[in-house]
Structure 1
Amino acid sequence: MADATTDNENTNSNAGTNNTAPPPTGSQSTSVIQHMMANKVDAGLWLTRLITVVFTILFILPLLGGDPYSFYQRALISCAASSALRLHQRIPNFQLSREFLGRLFLEDSCHYLVYAILFINIYPITMALIPAFLFALLHACSYTKTILNLMGPQSMMFLRHMIAKLEQQQTNVLRFIACNEIFLMPAIIILSFTGKASLFMPFVYYRFLSMRYASRRNPYCRTLFSELKLTIEYLCAKPQCPQIVKTGLYKCIALVTRLAPQPDTAQ
Protein backbone atom coordinates (compact mmCIF):
# COMPACT_ATOMS: atom_id res chain seq x y z
CA MET A 1 0.00 0.00 0.00
CA ALA A 2 2.88 2.45 0.44
CA ASP A 3 3.99 2.56 -3.14
CA ALA A 4 2.39 5.23 -5.29
CA THR A 5 0.41 4.31 -8.42
CA THR A 6 1.93 5.54 -11.70
CA ASP A 7 -0.06 8.26 -13.44
CA ASN A 8 -1.04 7.60 -17.07
CA GLU A 9 -1.04 10.82 -19.06
CA ASN A 10 -3.69 10.20 -21.74
CA THR A 11 -5.02 13.48 -23.16
CA ASN A 12 -7.54 14.04 -25.92
CA SER A 13 -6.30 15.92 -28.99
CA ASN A 14 -9.48 17.98 -29.28
CA ALA A 15 -9.46 19.33 -25.69
CA GLY A 16 -7.90 22.35 -24.03
CA THR A 17 -9.01 25.35 -26.08
CA ASN A 18 -11.90 26.42 -23.85
CA ASN A 19 -11.53 27.88 -20.36
CA THR A 20 -14.60 26.05 -19.09
CA ALA A 21 -14.51 22.29 -18.90
CA PRO A 22 -17.07 20.63 -21.19
CA PRO A 23 -19.09 17.74 -19.84
CA PRO A 24 -17.67 14.29 -20.60
CA THR A 25 -18.68 13.07 -24.04
CA GLY A 26 -19.78 9.56 -24.88
CA SER A 27 -16.34 8.76 -26.32
CA GLN A 28 -14.63 9.95 -23.10
CA SER A 29 -16.91 7.81 -20.96
CA THR A 30 -16.21 4.88 -23.25
CA SER A 31 -12.47 5.47 -22.89
CA VAL A 32 -12.79 5.39 -19.10
CA ILE A 33 -14.81 2.17 -19.15
CA GLN A 34 -12.43 0.55 -21.63
CA HIS A 35 -9.45 1.53 -19.52
CA MET A 36 -11.02 0.10 -16.36
CA MET A 37 -11.99 -3.12 -18.14
CA ALA A 38 -8.45 -3.47 -19.50
CA ASN A 39 -7.00 -2.86 -16.02
CA LYS A 40 -9.44 -4.75 -13.82
CA VAL A 41 -7.09 -5.14 -10.84
CA ASP A 42 -6.25 -1.41 -10.78
CA ALA A 43 -9.94 -0.56 -11.07
CA GLY A 44 -10.75 -3.01 -8.28
CA LEU A 45 -8.07 -1.44 -6.10
CA TRP A 46 -9.53 1.99 -6.76
CA LEU A 47 -13.02 0.86 -5.75
CA THR A 48 -11.92 -0.95 -2.57
CA ARG A 49 -9.84 2.05 -1.53
CA LEU A 50 -12.78 4.40 -2.08
CA ILE A 51 -14.90 2.05 0.06
CA THR A 52 -12.26 2.22 2.81
CA VAL A 53 -12.35 6.02 2.69
CA VAL A 54 -16.17 6.17 2.77
CA PHE A 55 -16.63 3.71 5.65
CA THR A 56 -13.89 5.37 7.71
CA ILE A 57 -15.64 8.72 7.34
CA LEU A 58 -18.97 7.09 8.30
CA PHE A 59 -17.33 5.56 11.38
CA ILE A 60 -15.78 8.83 12.55
CA LEU A 61 -18.72 11.04 11.48
CA PRO A 62 -21.96 9.03 11.81
CA LEU A 63 -23.74 10.97 9.08
CA LEU A 64 -26.10 8.14 8.12
CA GLY A 65 -26.61 6.62 11.56
CA GLY A 66 -26.27 2.87 11.84
CA ASP A 67 -23.86 0.80 13.87
CA PRO A 68 -20.39 2.44 14.00
CA TYR A 69 -18.76 -0.93 14.66
CA SER A 70 -20.09 -2.27 11.34
CA PHE A 71 -18.53 0.72 9.51
CA TYR A 72 -15.27 0.07 11.36
CA GLN A 73 -15.26 -3.57 10.27
CA ARG A 74 -16.22 -2.78 6.68
CA ALA A 75 -13.42 -0.22 6.41
CA LEU A 76 -10.89 -2.82 7.54
CA ILE A 77 -12.39 -5.53 5.31
CA SER A 78 -12.04 -3.27 2.27
CA CYS A 79 -8.50 -2.41 3.41
CA ALA A 80 -7.72 -6.14 3.55
CA ALA A 81 -9.22 -6.59 0.07
CA SER A 82 -7.05 -3.74 -1.28
CA SER A 83 -3.95 -5.26 0.30
CA ALA A 84 -4.75 -8.72 -1.09
CA LEU A 85 -5.29 -7.35 -4.62
CA ARG A 86 -2.08 -5.32 -4.44
CA LEU A 87 -0.20 -8.34 -3.14
CA HIS A 88 -1.52 -10.35 -6.08
CA GLN A 89 -0.18 -7.65 -8.40
CA ARG A 90 3.23 -7.67 -6.78
CA ILE A 91 3.60 -11.46 -6.41
CA PRO A 92 1.09 -13.14 -8.74
CA ASN A 93 2.32 -16.74 -8.59
CA PHE A 94 1.80 -18.38 -5.23
CA GLN A 95 4.37 -20.97 -4.15
CA LEU A 96 4.51 -22.96 -0.96
CA SER A 97 8.18 -22.40 -0.19
CA ARG A 98 10.28 -20.60 2.37
CA GLU A 99 11.76 -18.30 -0.27
CA PHE A 100 8.30 -17.26 -1.48
CA LEU A 101 7.07 -16.59 2.06
CA GLY A 102 10.18 -14.51 2.69
CA ARG A 103 9.39 -12.38 -0.38
CA LEU A 104 5.75 -12.20 0.68
CA PHE A 105 6.49 -10.71 4.10
CA LEU A 106 8.79 -8.09 2.56
CA GLU A 107 5.83 -6.54 0.73
CA ASP A 108 4.10 -3.56 2.31
CA SER A 109 0.74 -4.83 1.06
CA CYS A 110 1.29 -8.04 3.06
CA HIS A 111 2.01 -5.95 6.16
CA TYR A 112 -1.33 -4.17 5.82
CA LEU A 113 -3.21 -7.36 5.07
CA VAL A 114 -1.93 -8.63 8.43
CA TYR A 115 -2.76 -5.24 9.99
CA ALA A 116 -6.38 -5.28 8.80
CA ILE A 117 -6.94 -8.85 9.96
CA LEU A 118 -5.34 -8.02 13.31
CA PHE A 119 -7.73 -5.15 14.12
CA ILE A 120 -10.93 -6.33 12.45
CA ASN A 121 -12.44 -8.21 15.41
CA ILE A 122 -11.28 -6.19 18.41
CA TYR A 123 -12.71 -3.17 20.22
CA PRO A 124 -12.89 -0.31 17.67
CA ILE A 125 -9.78 1.88 17.77
CA THR A 126 -10.00 5.07 15.72
CA MET A 127 -6.20 5.23 15.52
CA ALA A 128 -6.21 1.83 13.81
CA LEU A 129 -8.26 3.22 10.91
CA ILE A 130 -6.02 6.23 10.29
CA PRO A 131 -3.22 4.43 8.35
CA ALA A 132 -5.74 2.42 6.30
CA PHE A 133 -7.74 5.57 5.55
CA LEU A 134 -4.77 7.75 4.55
CA PHE A 135 -3.11 5.11 2.38
CA ALA A 136 -6.43 4.41 0.66
CA LEU A 137 -6.96 8.14 0.10
CA LEU A 138 -3.49 8.67 -1.38
CA HIS A 139 -3.71 5.74 -3.78
CA ALA A 140 -7.34 6.39 -4.73
CA CYS A 141 -6.43 9.98 -5.63
CA SER A 142 -3.59 8.74 -7.82
CA TYR A 143 -5.90 6.51 -9.86
CA THR A 144 -8.58 9.21 -9.91
CA LYS A 145 -6.07 11.43 -11.74
CA THR A 146 -5.76 8.73 -14.39
CA ILE A 147 -9.54 8.66 -14.81
CA LEU A 148 -9.69 12.47 -15.01
CA ASN A 149 -6.97 12.52 -17.67
CA LEU A 150 -9.00 10.07 -19.74
CA MET A 151 -12.03 12.34 -19.37
CA GLY A 152 -10.05 15.34 -20.64
CA PRO A 153 -7.32 17.69 -19.40
CA GLN A 154 -9.84 20.28 -18.14
CA SER A 155 -12.33 17.92 -16.52
CA MET A 156 -13.33 18.48 -12.87
CA MET A 157 -10.68 21.10 -12.13
CA PHE A 158 -11.81 21.49 -8.52
CA LEU A 159 -11.13 17.80 -7.89
CA ARG A 160 -7.77 18.08 -9.68
CA HIS A 161 -6.77 20.97 -7.39
CA MET A 162 -7.76 18.98 -4.31
CA ILE A 163 -5.68 16.01 -5.47
CA ALA A 164 -2.71 18.29 -6.25
CA LYS A 165 -2.82 19.77 -2.74
CA LEU A 166 -2.89 16.29 -1.22
CA GLU A 167 0.06 15.20 -3.34
CA GLN A 168 2.04 18.22 -2.14
CA GLN A 169 1.55 16.98 1.43
CA GLN A 170 2.32 13.32 0.64
CA THR A 171 5.56 13.22 2.64
CA ASN A 172 3.88 14.76 5.69
CA VAL A 173 0.99 12.30 5.35
CA LEU A 174 3.36 9.32 5.21
CA ARG A 175 5.25 10.61 8.26
CA PHE A 176 1.97 11.01 10.13
CA ILE A 177 1.00 7.43 9.24
CA ALA A 178 4.33 6.15 10.58
CA CYS A 179 3.89 8.16 13.78
CA ASN A 180 0.39 6.74 14.19
CA GLU A 181 1.70 3.18 13.75
CA ILE A 182 4.33 3.73 16.44
CA PHE A 183 1.97 5.24 19.03
CA LEU A 184 -0.60 2.51 18.43
CA MET A 185 1.69 0.18 20.41
CA PRO A 186 1.19 1.85 23.83
CA ALA A 187 -2.53 2.21 23.05
CA ILE A 188 -2.77 -1.55 22.39
CA ILE A 189 -0.90 -2.33 25.62
CA ILE A 190 -3.39 -0.20 27.57
CA LEU A 191 -6.34 -1.91 25.84
CA SER A 192 -4.86 -5.31 26.68
CA PHE A 193 -4.69 -4.47 30.37
CA THR A 194 -8.24 -3.07 30.35
CA GLY A 195 -9.63 -6.24 28.75
CA LYS A 196 -10.56 -4.63 25.41
CA ALA A 197 -7.86 -6.51 23.48
CA SER A 198 -6.19 -9.88 23.81
CA LEU A 199 -3.04 -10.15 25.92
CA PHE A 200 -1.34 -11.54 22.81
CA MET A 201 -2.23 -8.44 20.79
CA PRO A 202 0.89 -6.40 21.75
CA PHE A 203 3.16 -9.28 20.71
CA VAL A 204 1.42 -9.71 17.35
CA TYR A 205 1.43 -5.95 16.74
CA TYR A 206 5.12 -5.87 17.58
CA ARG A 207 5.69 -8.24 14.64
CA PHE A 208 3.75 -5.88 12.37
CA LEU A 209 5.75 -2.89 13.63
CA SER A 210 8.97 -4.83 13.03
CA MET A 211 7.95 -5.42 9.42
CA ARG A 212 7.17 -1.73 8.96
CA TYR A 213 10.51 -0.79 10.50
CA ALA A 214 12.35 -3.09 8.07
CA SER A 215 10.31 -2.02 5.01
CA ARG A 216 12.45 -1.38 1.93
CA ARG A 217 9.80 0.67 0.10
CA ASN A 218 8.65 2.91 2.95
CA PRO A 219 11.41 4.20 5.28
CA TYR A 220 9.21 6.57 7.30
CA CYS A 221 8.66 4.26 10.28
CA ARG A 222 12.42 3.80 10.62
CA THR A 223 12.98 7.54 10.22
CA LEU A 224 10.40 8.42 12.88
CA PHE A 225 11.95 5.99 15.36
CA SER A 226 15.35 7.64 14.81
CA GLU A 227 13.90 11.13 15.22
CA LEU A 228 12.04 10.15 18.39
CA LYS A 229 15.23 8.67 19.80
CA LEU A 230 17.17 11.89 19.09
CA THR A 231 14.40 14.01 20.61
CA ILE A 232 14.27 11.95 23.81
CA GLU A 233 18.06 11.99 24.14
CA TYR A 234 18.02 15.77 23.69
CA LEU A 235 15.39 16.15 26.44
CA CYS A 236 17.31 13.79 28.76
CA ALA A 237 20.46 15.87 28.33
CA LYS A 238 18.75 18.95 29.76
CA PRO A 239 19.69 19.73 33.41
CA GLN A 240 16.00 20.18 34.29
CA CYS A 241 15.24 16.53 33.52
CA PRO A 242 14.93 14.51 36.79
CA GLN A 243 17.41 11.67 37.15
CA ILE A 244 14.70 9.04 37.63
CA VAL A 245 12.96 10.13 34.41
CA LYS A 246 16.28 10.23 32.57
CA THR A 247 17.17 6.71 33.70
CA GLY A 248 13.75 5.37 32.71
CA LEU A 249 13.89 6.97 29.27
CA TYR A 250 17.39 5.67 28.56
CA LYS A 251 16.24 2.17 29.51
CA CYS A 252 13.30 2.50 27.13
CA ILE A 253 15.65 3.60 24.34
CA ALA A 254 17.93 0.64 25.01
CA LEU A 255 14.97 -1.78 24.97
CA VAL A 256 13.55 -0.43 21.70
CA THR A 257 17.01 -0.44 20.09
CA ARG A 258 17.53 -4.05 21.14
CA LEU A 259 14.12 -5.12 19.77
CA ALA A 260 14.48 -3.22 16.50
CA PRO A 261 15.11 -5.56 13.52
CA GLN A 262 17.93 -5.01 11.09
CA PRO A 263 16.51 -3.67 7.80
CA ASP A 264 16.96 -6.03 4.85
CA THR A 265 18.79 -3.96 2.26
CA ALA A 266 19.06 -6.75 -0.30
CA GLN A 267 17.57 -5.86 -3.64
Structure 2
Amino acid sequence: MADQNSPAGETGPPKGIPALKAHIIANKVDVALWGIRILTVLCTIGYVMPLFNNPVSAFYKALLANAATSALRLHQRIPPREISLSREFLARFFLEDSAHYLFYSLIFMNVAPNLLILTPIFLFALLHAASYSLTILDTLGQNSMWVARLLISLVEFQSRNILRAAALAEIVLFPVVALMALFGYCGLLTPFVYYYFVTWRYASRRNPYTRNTFRELRVLAERGAARPQLPRALASALRAAVQLVCRMAPPTEQVHQ
Protein backbone atom coordinates (compact mmCIF):
# COMPACT_ATOMS: atom_id res chain seq x y z
CA MET A 1 0.00 0.00 0.00
CA ALA A 2 1.41 3.45 -0.88
CA ASP A 3 2.67 5.69 1.90
CA GLN A 4 0.01 8.28 2.73
CA ASN A 5 2.71 10.89 3.53
CA SER A 6 4.34 10.62 0.10
CA PRO A 7 3.62 13.33 -2.50
CA ALA A 8 0.77 12.80 -4.92
CA GLY A 9 1.74 10.89 -8.03
CA GLU A 10 4.87 9.33 -6.50
CA THR A 11 4.65 5.58 -7.08
CA GLY A 12 8.21 4.33 -6.55
CA PRO A 13 11.84 5.22 -6.05
CA PRO A 14 13.24 8.27 -7.89
CA LYS A 15 14.41 7.83 -11.48
CA GLY A 16 16.86 9.63 -13.72
CA ILE A 17 20.56 10.48 -13.60
CA PRO A 18 20.75 10.72 -9.76
CA ALA A 19 19.20 7.25 -9.48
CA LEU A 20 21.66 5.94 -12.09
CA LYS A 21 24.62 7.36 -10.16
CA ALA A 22 23.33 5.74 -6.96
CA HIS A 23 22.87 2.43 -8.78
CA ILE A 24 26.44 2.54 -10.13
CA ILE A 25 27.87 3.24 -6.67
CA ALA A 26 25.86 0.39 -5.14
CA ASN A 27 26.60 -2.12 -7.93
CA LYS A 28 30.13 -1.32 -9.10
CA VAL A 29 31.07 -4.88 -10.14
CA ASP A 30 27.83 -5.53 -12.04
CA VAL A 31 28.11 -2.22 -13.88
CA ALA A 32 31.77 -2.96 -14.67
CA LEU A 33 30.73 -6.36 -16.09
CA TRP A 34 28.08 -4.65 -18.20
CA GLY A 35 30.62 -2.16 -19.58
CA ILE A 36 33.23 -4.82 -20.36
CA ARG A 37 30.65 -7.00 -22.10
CA ILE A 38 29.66 -4.07 -24.30
CA LEU A 39 33.36 -3.61 -25.05
CA THR A 40 33.55 -7.29 -26.07
CA VAL A 41 30.64 -6.78 -28.48
CA LEU A 42 32.18 -3.61 -29.93
CA CYS A 43 35.61 -5.23 -30.37
CA THR A 44 34.04 -8.19 -32.18
CA ILE A 45 32.19 -5.82 -34.48
CA GLY A 46 35.47 -3.95 -34.95
CA TYR A 47 37.12 -7.19 -36.01
CA VAL A 48 34.39 -7.96 -38.55
CA MET A 49 34.07 -4.37 -39.81
CA PRO A 50 37.44 -2.68 -39.19
CA LEU A 51 36.37 0.90 -39.88
CA PHE A 52 38.26 2.64 -37.06
CA ASN A 53 40.60 -0.03 -35.72
CA ASN A 54 43.12 -2.70 -36.67
CA PRO A 55 41.10 -5.96 -36.92
CA VAL A 56 43.91 -8.02 -35.37
CA SER A 57 44.06 -5.61 -32.43
CA ALA A 58 40.26 -5.76 -32.07
CA PHE A 59 40.41 -9.58 -32.01
CA TYR A 60 42.83 -9.71 -29.08
CA LYS A 61 41.04 -6.88 -27.26
CA ALA A 62 37.82 -8.92 -27.42
CA LEU A 63 39.65 -11.90 -25.88
CA LEU A 64 41.12 -9.68 -23.16
CA ALA A 65 37.71 -8.19 -22.42
CA ASN A 66 36.26 -11.69 -22.13
CA ALA A 67 39.08 -12.65 -19.74
CA ALA A 68 38.33 -9.57 -17.60
CA THR A 69 34.62 -10.44 -17.53
CA SER A 70 35.37 -14.03 -16.52
CA ALA A 71 37.78 -12.92 -13.78
CA LEU A 72 35.20 -10.53 -12.31
CA ARG A 73 32.51 -13.21 -12.39
CA LEU A 74 34.86 -15.60 -10.61
CA HIS A 75 35.47 -12.89 -8.02
CA GLN A 76 31.71 -12.78 -7.44
CA ARG A 77 31.26 -16.55 -7.39
CA ILE A 78 34.34 -17.44 -5.31
CA PRO A 79 35.26 -14.91 -2.58
CA PRO A 80 39.02 -14.30 -2.14
CA ARG A 81 38.95 -15.79 1.37
CA GLU A 82 38.01 -19.17 -0.11
CA ILE A 83 40.91 -19.30 -2.60
CA SER A 84 43.45 -22.05 -1.93
CA LEU A 85 45.54 -24.64 -3.73
CA SER A 86 43.57 -27.58 -2.37
CA ARG A 87 42.15 -30.26 -4.65
CA GLU A 88 38.63 -29.38 -3.49
CA PHE A 89 39.08 -25.72 -4.46
CA LEU A 90 40.46 -26.60 -7.90
CA ALA A 91 37.56 -28.98 -8.50
CA ARG A 92 35.10 -26.22 -7.57
CA PHE A 93 37.04 -23.68 -9.66
CA PHE A 94 36.73 -25.71 -12.86
CA LEU A 95 33.01 -26.25 -12.29
CA GLU A 96 32.47 -22.52 -12.81
CA ASP A 97 31.53 -21.44 -16.32
CA SER A 98 33.55 -18.25 -15.79
CA ALA A 99 36.67 -20.34 -15.23
CA HIS A 100 36.01 -22.13 -18.50
CA TYR A 101 35.91 -18.88 -20.45
CA LEU A 102 38.89 -17.38 -18.65
CA PHE A 103 40.75 -20.48 -19.81
CA TYR A 104 39.22 -19.99 -23.29
CA SER A 105 40.75 -16.52 -23.63
CA LEU A 106 44.15 -17.80 -22.53
CA ILE A 107 44.03 -20.63 -25.09
CA PHE A 108 43.55 -18.27 -28.04
CA MET A 109 45.79 -15.35 -27.08
CA ASN A 110 48.59 -16.72 -29.31
CA VAL A 111 46.67 -18.02 -32.34
CA ALA A 112 45.86 -16.49 -35.70
CA PRO A 113 42.62 -14.43 -35.52
CA ASN A 114 39.48 -16.30 -36.54
CA LEU A 115 35.88 -15.10 -36.35
CA LEU A 116 34.66 -18.46 -35.05
CA ILE A 117 36.86 -18.02 -31.95
CA LEU A 118 35.06 -14.78 -31.10
CA THR A 119 31.57 -16.14 -31.80
CA PRO A 120 30.82 -17.73 -28.37
CA ILE A 121 32.18 -14.83 -26.32
CA PHE A 122 30.37 -12.32 -28.56
CA LEU A 123 27.04 -14.12 -28.15
CA PHE A 124 27.39 -14.47 -24.36
CA ALA A 125 28.46 -10.82 -24.02
CA LEU A 126 25.55 -9.68 -26.21
CA LEU A 127 22.99 -11.66 -24.21
CA HIS A 128 24.21 -10.64 -20.75
CA ALA A 129 24.81 -7.01 -21.72
CA ALA A 130 21.29 -6.77 -23.13
CA SER A 131 19.81 -8.21 -19.94
CA TYR A 132 21.60 -5.74 -17.68
CA SER A 133 20.88 -2.85 -20.05
CA LEU A 134 17.20 -3.23 -19.09
CA THR A 135 18.17 -2.70 -15.45
CA ILE A 136 20.05 0.46 -16.43
CA LEU A 137 17.11 1.75 -18.47
CA ASP A 138 14.66 0.97 -15.65
CA THR A 139 16.84 3.07 -13.35
CA LEU A 140 16.58 5.97 -15.77
CA GLY A 141 12.82 5.58 -16.10
CA GLN A 142 10.20 3.22 -17.45
CA ASN A 143 9.71 5.15 -20.70
CA SER A 144 13.36 5.91 -21.44
CA MET A 145 14.87 4.89 -24.81
CA TRP A 146 12.03 2.75 -26.12
CA VAL A 147 14.00 1.90 -29.28
CA ALA A 148 16.81 0.43 -27.16
CA ARG A 149 14.22 -1.49 -25.13
CA LEU A 150 12.76 -2.94 -28.33
CA LEU A 151 16.18 -4.13 -29.53
CA ILE A 152 16.97 -5.62 -26.12
CA SER A 153 13.62 -7.43 -26.11
CA LEU A 154 14.46 -8.95 -29.50
CA VAL A 155 17.79 -10.23 -28.14
CA GLU A 156 16.15 -11.71 -25.04
CA PHE A 157 13.40 -13.29 -27.14
CA GLN A 158 16.13 -15.14 -29.03
CA SER A 159 18.10 -16.07 -25.90
CA ARG A 160 17.59 -19.82 -26.34
CA ASN A 161 18.77 -19.71 -29.96
CA ILE A 162 21.73 -17.51 -28.97
CA LEU A 163 22.84 -20.01 -26.33
CA ARG A 164 22.46 -22.89 -28.78
CA ALA A 165 24.50 -21.00 -31.38
CA ALA A 166 27.25 -20.36 -28.81
CA ALA A 167 27.31 -24.06 -27.90
CA LEU A 168 27.47 -25.07 -31.58
CA ALA A 169 30.39 -22.67 -32.11
CA GLU A 170 32.25 -24.23 -29.15
CA ILE A 171 31.85 -27.68 -30.71
CA VAL A 172 32.60 -26.79 -34.33
CA LEU A 173 35.70 -24.91 -33.20
CA PHE A 174 37.31 -28.17 -32.04
CA PRO A 175 37.98 -29.62 -35.54
CA VAL A 176 38.77 -26.11 -36.80
CA VAL A 177 41.49 -25.74 -34.15
CA ALA A 178 42.88 -29.14 -35.14
CA LEU A 179 43.13 -27.96 -38.76
CA MET A 180 44.68 -24.67 -37.63
CA ALA A 181 47.36 -26.62 -35.75
CA LEU A 182 48.11 -28.75 -38.83
CA PHE A 183 48.56 -25.67 -41.02
CA GLY A 184 50.60 -23.71 -38.47
CA TYR A 185 48.01 -21.15 -37.38
CA CYS A 186 48.32 -22.21 -33.74
CA GLY A 187 50.50 -24.43 -31.57
CA LEU A 188 50.33 -28.20 -31.88
CA LEU A 189 49.19 -28.47 -28.25
CA THR A 190 46.27 -26.07 -28.73
CA PRO A 191 43.74 -28.77 -29.84
CA PHE A 192 44.63 -30.92 -26.82
CA VAL A 193 44.21 -27.97 -24.45
CA TYR A 194 40.96 -26.96 -26.17
CA TYR A 195 39.68 -30.52 -25.68
CA TYR A 196 39.69 -29.93 -21.92
CA PHE A 197 37.66 -26.75 -22.41
CA VAL A 198 35.06 -28.67 -24.41
CA THR A 199 34.82 -31.38 -21.74
CA TRP A 200 34.26 -28.73 -19.06
CA ARG A 201 31.52 -27.15 -21.15
CA TYR A 202 29.95 -30.58 -21.69
CA ALA A 203 29.92 -31.18 -17.93
CA SER A 204 28.69 -27.67 -17.04
CA ARG A 205 26.02 -27.66 -14.33
CA ARG A 206 24.76 -24.13 -15.08
CA ASN A 207 24.64 -24.31 -18.89
CA PRO A 208 23.40 -27.56 -20.47
CA TYR A 209 23.39 -26.21 -24.03
CA THR A 210 26.76 -27.67 -25.05
CA ARG A 211 25.71 -31.12 -23.80
CA ASN A 212 22.32 -30.85 -25.48
CA THR A 213 23.87 -29.70 -28.75
CA PHE A 214 26.22 -32.68 -28.73
CA ARG A 215 23.18 -34.94 -28.35
CA GLU A 216 21.34 -33.20 -31.18
CA LEU A 217 24.36 -33.54 -33.46
CA ARG A 218 24.66 -37.23 -32.55
CA VAL A 219 21.01 -37.87 -33.43
CA LEU A 220 21.44 -35.95 -36.70
CA ALA A 221 24.58 -37.92 -37.62
CA GLU A 222 22.98 -41.28 -36.78
CA ARG A 223 19.90 -40.46 -38.83
CA GLY A 224 22.09 -39.39 -41.72
CA ALA A 225 24.14 -42.60 -41.50
CA ALA A 226 20.94 -44.68 -41.57
CA ARG A 227 19.73 -43.18 -44.85
CA PRO A 228 19.88 -45.85 -47.59
CA GLN A 229 20.91 -43.39 -50.32
CA LEU A 230 24.04 -42.37 -48.39
CA PRO A 231 27.24 -44.05 -49.67
CA ARG A 232 28.35 -46.89 -47.40
CA ALA A 233 31.81 -45.40 -46.86
CA LEU A 234 30.36 -42.07 -45.73
CA ALA A 235 27.84 -43.79 -43.44
CA SER A 236 30.64 -45.81 -41.84
CA ALA A 237 32.68 -42.63 -41.39
CA LEU A 238 29.75 -40.92 -39.65
CA ARG A 239 29.24 -43.84 -37.28
CA ALA A 240 32.96 -43.98 -36.52
CA ALA A 241 32.99 -40.23 -35.81
CA VAL A 242 30.02 -40.58 -33.44
CA GLN A 243 31.71 -43.45 -31.58
CA LEU A 244 34.95 -41.46 -31.30
CA VAL A 245 33.18 -38.41 -29.87
CA CYS A 246 31.23 -40.60 -27.41
CA ARG A 247 34.49 -42.14 -26.17
CA MET A 248 35.98 -38.66 -25.69
CA ALA A 249 33.01 -37.42 -23.64
CA PRO A 250 33.43 -37.06 -19.85
CA PRO A 251 32.11 -39.93 -17.68
CA THR A 252 28.43 -39.70 -16.82
CA GLU A 253 29.13 -39.41 -13.11
CA GLN A 254 31.35 -36.39 -13.75
CA VAL A 255 28.59 -34.65 -15.66
CA HIS A 256 25.91 -35.18 -13.02
CA GLN A 257 27.95 -34.83 -9.84
* TM-score normalised per structure 1: 0.88
Structure 2-normalised TM-score?
Answer: 0.91
1:232 aligned partner: 221
Distance in 1 between the 2:69 and 2:11 partners? 34
Q: Does 1:73 align with 2:60?
A: yes
Given that residues 52 and 75 in structure 1 are in contact (C-alpha distance below 8 angstroms), is that contact kept between their aligned partners in structure 2?
yes
TM alignment of 1:206-221, pairs within 5 A: 206-221=195-210
- Alignment partners' CA distance in 1, 2:143 and 2:196: 46
1:73–1:121 contact (8 Å) kept in structure 2: no
Deviations, residues 78-117 of structure 1 (Å, cap 9, x unaligned)? 1100000001101113122110110010000100000011
Segments of 5+ residues of structure 2 without an aligned counterpart are: 1-8
Q: Pick one of 66, 72, 75 that aligns with 1:88.
A: 75
Number of matched pairs:
244
CA contact (8 A) 2:205 2:255 kept: yes
Within 5 Å, give how 1:18-97 maps onto structure 2: 28-64=16-52, 66-93=53-80, 94-97=83-86
Between the aligned partners of 2:114 and 2:216, the Cα distance in structure 1 is 26
Does the CA contact (< 8 Å) of 2:40 and 2:61 recur in 1? yes
Structure 1 segments unaligned to the other structure (5+ residues): 1-12, 17-24
Aligned Cα RMSD in Å? Answer: 1.5
Q: 1:203-224 CA distances to partner (integer Å, 9 max, x unpaired)?
A: 0110000000000111111111
Distance in structure 1 (CA, Å) of the matches to 2:34 and 2:130: 9
Q: Secondary structure at the match of 2:186?
A: coil
* Offset at residue 265 of structure 1 (A): 2.2
Q: Which of 1 and 2 has higher RCO (CA within 8 Å, sep 6+)?
A: 1
Cα distance, 1:238 vs structure 2? 1.1
**Letter of the 1:74 counterpart:** K
Give the distance between the partners of 1:61 and 1:31, measured in 2 at CA: 36
1:250: Cα distance to partner? Answer: 1.1
Deviations 1:37-96 (A, max 9, x none): 1111101101111111111111111121x3211111111101100000001101113122
Deviation at 1:264, TM superposition (A): 3.0
Instruction: Establish whether residue 104 from structure 1 lines up as the match of residue 106 from structure 2.
Output: no
Percent identity of paired positions between Structure 1 and Structure 2 = 46
Quote the Cα distance in structure 1 between the aligned partners of 2:256 and 2:88: 16
Residue of 176, 189, 205 corresponding to 1:187: 176
